[in-house]
Structure 1
Amino acid sequence: MKPAFLTVFLKEMRETLREKRTVALLVLFTLMYPVMFGVLMQQLIDRATRSEREGIELAVIGASQAPTLMAQLKQKNITVRESAAMDEPAIEALLQKGKVAGVLRLSDKFTENYTAMRPARVELWYDSAAEKNGQRREVEDVLEAYGANVASARLLAHGVSPATLAPIQVQRYDTGTNASRSAGLIGGMLSMLFFPAFFCGMSAAVDSTAGERERRSMEVLMAQPARAWEIVTGKWLMAGALALAGLTLELLLAHVVLGWLPLEELGMSWSLSWLDITLVCVVGLPLALLAAALQIALAMNAKSFKEAQSTLSIVLLLPMLPGVVVSMMELKTSLWMYAVPMLSNQTLLREVSKGVEVGALPYVLTFLSAALPTIAIVAFASWRMKSERYVLAV
């Protein structure tokens, strides 16, 4: 003979799965964020590597006056397109077409000033609203390097070492790994992966408590030979199963998407293994059950179906607060963060994605931080179920 709570669980799950439209919306919501995140990251990669794939096209007015500069531009994969003299409206019209990264105009006295070792004016026209700012910065780097080379050559011609202008030589060593840079950039996006734990079981939790009470089917259920804790446990496990399914699916899909993206083009990497993501999913189990227990308990104490929906919609904002506060205060990762539900899961995933050896304690704390309050909330809901005031909604 099956336990009573299992019978309630199967009954609630069948009724929930009959609502195919609701289930389809939950699946769509779960799949939407990883796919959207992957598309946005792919666009970022395409934008960052567009210069390497397509090259840079630069319109130059008066190119014949600086053949060395033109040669240096071509060495950096910058296509020089010589143009006739243009006034300012013509230059603006050319830039608006978006075919060139910028317009380089050499003054009429460029050669004269260059020969006389006076500053030779070069004008760089560009459109800051266009999507070619990266290409424009590469052109500026070439111009700066060219100016530095000319200055060094002039100093040597006067018997002065160029090292005189650089009394301090700074050598930079970046110890950050691709994985840590990845976590720094997409850490905030990773935190959103845990929200299905609070969304996927909410409608089922409300319908199986406040909804059944309004339909008067709760009285029939409570008249069966089942104790209050068995009824609550069955409903809680049903909502928790939906939340866990959504959370696991979202984490696994995000892992696949991030592993497929060429993040190395941005100097990043996604180093999590299937074992790592599996452990993250395992310690996410109590979070899904905590969300379901909280929703069941709050919906039970609401006097109507609409009130339960409104209450839970507001409560959904609570899981966001710890992560937002920590990010705004720019706090370093500390052990206490693993004792806060939701924040602990976000922190653990961020640290693991950096390639850091976190040890066993953060996993244990993350598991217990959600498991312990879950037991307390389920016990409270079971006690509340025994009250006639709940059944009569008074």
Structure 2
Amino acid sequence: MKPRFMVVLVKELRETLRDKRTLAMLALFTVMYPVVLGFILQQMVNRATKPEREGAEVAVIGAARAPTLMTQLRQKNFTLREVAPMDEEGIAALLKGRKTVAVLRVSDKFAENYEAMRPAAIELWFDSAADTGSRTRDIEDVINAYGSNIAGARLLAHGVSPATLSPIKLQRYDTGTNASRSAAMIGSILAALFFPSFMLGMATAIDSTAGERERRSLEVLMAQPARAADLVVGKWLAAGTLAMVGVTLELALAHLVLSWLPLEEIGMAWSLSWGGLAMVCIAALPLSLFAAAVQVALAMNSKSFKEAQSLLSFVMLVPMVPGVLVSMLDLKTATWMYLVPMLSDQTLLREMARTGQVEAVPFVLTFLSSAVPALAAVAFASWRMKSERYVLAV
């Protein structure tokens, strides 16, 4: 004989899947977050590689006075365009058009000062409000290297080694990997991948509790030979099943998107394997059950369908607060993070993406951090279902 809660589960799933609008919303929330994440990262890649693909235009006033510097700028993939002398307003108007990343104005006395071994002035004009900061720094690096070469040549001409000006030789070694940088950069974005856990089952949780009570169909259901716990568990599992399936598909889609994007162009990498993703998905299953349990419990205690919708719409924002705070405060990974629902899943996915291997304890804590409060919420809802005041909405 089929358990009674399974009968309720099948009944709730059948009613939910029969509604095409509900299915459309489930599909939307499943696909939306991976697509948005992929779009954001693709824009970052395009922005980082655009200068290399298209180069950058630099307007130069008096380019003939420093031909060697112009040659070095062209070697760095800068397109030089010589323009007539102009005042500050003209330079500002030229930069405002955003076609030119910077304006170089070589002083009229550049050659005279150069020959006299006095500082030769070069003005670099740029718009800090434009998204050209990296290319402006590249121009500064070329000019600094150009000045260092001149200083070295002058020292050699006077019989002094250029090494005299560099008594310390600093060697920099970065032990960070692309994977670790990726986890730090998109750690806050990963939290959005678990947010549908609180979205996908909400409609079913509200309709099967507050909705059925308003339609008076809940009285008929409770007249059947089934315990209150069977009814609650069936409704809980129906909402949780939709959320679990949706989140699993969403994580798989996000994994495909992140694996396909050329993240190495922006110093990032996504090295999570399908096996690691499967372990994260298993650990994240209780999060969907926890969300469904809380939604069922709160919807049951709402006086109307609209009140349940308003209440749960606000409650859905609460699980995102710890993840946002941790990202803003830039806190290091700690054990207590695996004890907070949703934050634990976000932290686990970030660590798996960063290192590729995580010990068993974080998986267990992540699983239990949502499973235990989910069972507590179901127990409370089952106790609440026994009340005639609830069923009759009095």
TM-score category (smaller protein): over 0.9
Cα distance in 2 between the residues matched to 1:184 and 1:90: 42
Give 1:356 deviation, angstroms: 4.6
- Residues 257-299 of structure 1: CA distance to partner in whole angstroms, max 9, x if unpaired? 1101000101111000111111111111111001101111111
**Corresponding residue number in structure 2 for 1:252:** 252
- Residues 225-282 of structure 1: CA distance to partner in whole angstroms, max 9, x if unpaired? 1111111111001000111122112211111111010001011110001111111111
- Residues 61-112 of structure 1: CA distance to partner in whole angstroms, max 9, x if unpaired? 2111112111211221222222333333433343333333222111110000
Matched, 1:276 2:263: no
**Corresponding residue number in structure 1 for 2:92:** 92
> In structure 1, what residue type is equivalent to 2:272?
L
Cα distance in 2 between the residues matched to 1:331 and 1:178: 20
**Corresponding residue number in structure 1 for 2:118:** 118
Cα distance in 1 between the residues matched to 2:55 and 2:327: 38
TM-score (norm 2): 0.96
**Corresponding residue number in structure 2 for 1:373:** 373
**Corresponding residue number in structure 2 for 1:176:** 176
**Corresponding residue number in structure 2 for 1:345:** 345
Give yes or no for contact 2:56–2:101 (8 Å, CA) kept in 1. Answer: yes
**Corresponding residue number in structure 2 for 1:241:** 241
Of 124-133 and 108-117, deviating more is: 124-133
- Pairing 1:300-315 to 2, within 5 Å after superposition: 300-315=300-315
Q: Which runs of 4+ in 1 moved over 6 A?
A: none
- Pairing 1:58-207 to 2, within 5 Å after superposition: 58-207=58-207
**Corresponding residue number in structure 2 for 1:320:** 320
**Corresponding residue number in structure 2 for 1:267:** 267
SS at match of 1:135: helix
- Residues 9-63 of structure 1: CA distance to partner in whole angstroms, max 9, x if unpaired? 1111121122211221232122112111111111111111111111222222211
Cα distance in 2 between the residues matched to 1:356 and 1:148: 44
Give 1:380 deviation, angstroms: 1.7
**Corresponding residue number in structure 2 for 1:289:** 289
> In structure 2, what residue type is equivalent to 1:173?
Y
SS at match of 2:82: strand
Give yes or no for contact 2:337–2:347 (8 Å, CA) kept in 1. Answer: yes
Cα distance in 2 between the residues matched to 1:231 and 1:101: 66
Cα distance in 1 between the residues matched to 2:387 and 2:218: 13
Of 18-27 and 85-94, deviating more is: 85-94
In structure 1, runs of 5+ residues without a counterpart are none
Cα distance in 1 between the residues matched to 2:259 and 2:20: 31
- Residues 180-229 of structure 1: CA distance to partner in whole angstroms, max 9, x if unpaired? 00011111101111011111111110111011101100000001111111
Give 1:363 deviation, angstroms: 0.8
Cα distance in 1 between the residues matched to 2:381 and 2:26: 25
SS at match of 2:381: helix
Cα distance in 1 between the residues matched to 2:95 and 2:340: 53
**Corresponding residue number in structure 1 for 2:33:** 33
> In structure 2, what residue type is equivalent to 1:267?
G
Give yes or no for contact 2:191–2:320 (8 Å, CA) kept in 1. Answer: no
SS at match of 2:151: helix
- How many pairs were matched up? 394
SS at match of 2:226: coil
TM-score (norm 1): 0.96
Give 1:129 deviation, angstroms: 3.2
Cα distance in 2 between the residues matched to 1:88 and 1:380: 72
SS at match of 2:100: coil
Give 1:320 deviation, angstroms: 1.4
> In structure 2, what residue type is equivalent to 1:260?
W
SS at match of 1:64: helix
SS at match of 1:101: strand
SS at match of 1:354: helix
Cα distance in 1 between the residues matched to 2:324 and 2:269: 25
> In structure 2, what residue type is equivalent to 1:287?
L
> In structure 2, what residue type is equivalent to 1:270?
W
Taking a change above 3 Å as real, the CA distance of residues 328 and 129 of structure 1, as seen in their structure-2 partners, is closer
Cα distance in 2 between the residues matched to 1:238 and 1:162: 76
Taking a change above 3 Å as real, the CA distance of residues 80 and 329 of structure 1, as seen in their structure-2 partners, is closer
**Corresponding residue number in structure 1 for 2:359:** 359
Taking a change above 3 Å as real, the CA distance of residues 166 and 246 of structure 1, as seen in their structure-2 partners, is same
> In structure 2, what residue type is equivalent to 1:212?
E
Give 1:324 deviation, angstroms: 2.5
Taking a change above 3 Å as real, the CA distance of residues 316 and 94 of structure 1, as seen in their structure-2 partners, is same
Taking a change above 3 Å as real, the CA distance of residues 327 and 98 of structure 1, as seen in their structure-2 partners, is closer
Give 1:151 deviation, angstroms: 1.9
**Corresponding residue number in structure 2 for 1:334:** 334
Give 1:153 deviation, angstroms: 2.0
SS at match of 1:225: coil
Q: Percent identity?
A: 68
> In structure 2, what residue type is equivalent to 1:38?
G
Taking a change above 3 Å as real, the CA distance of residues 73 and 329 of structure 1, as seen in their structure-2 partners, is closer
Cα distance in 1 between the residues matched to 2:89 and 2:329: 48
Of 17-26 and 265-274, deviating more is: 17-26
Superposed CA RMSD: 1.6
Of 206-215 and 97-106, deviating more is: 97-106
Cα distance in 1 between the residues matched to 2:130 and 2:343: 39
In structure 2, runs of 5+ residues without a counterpart are none
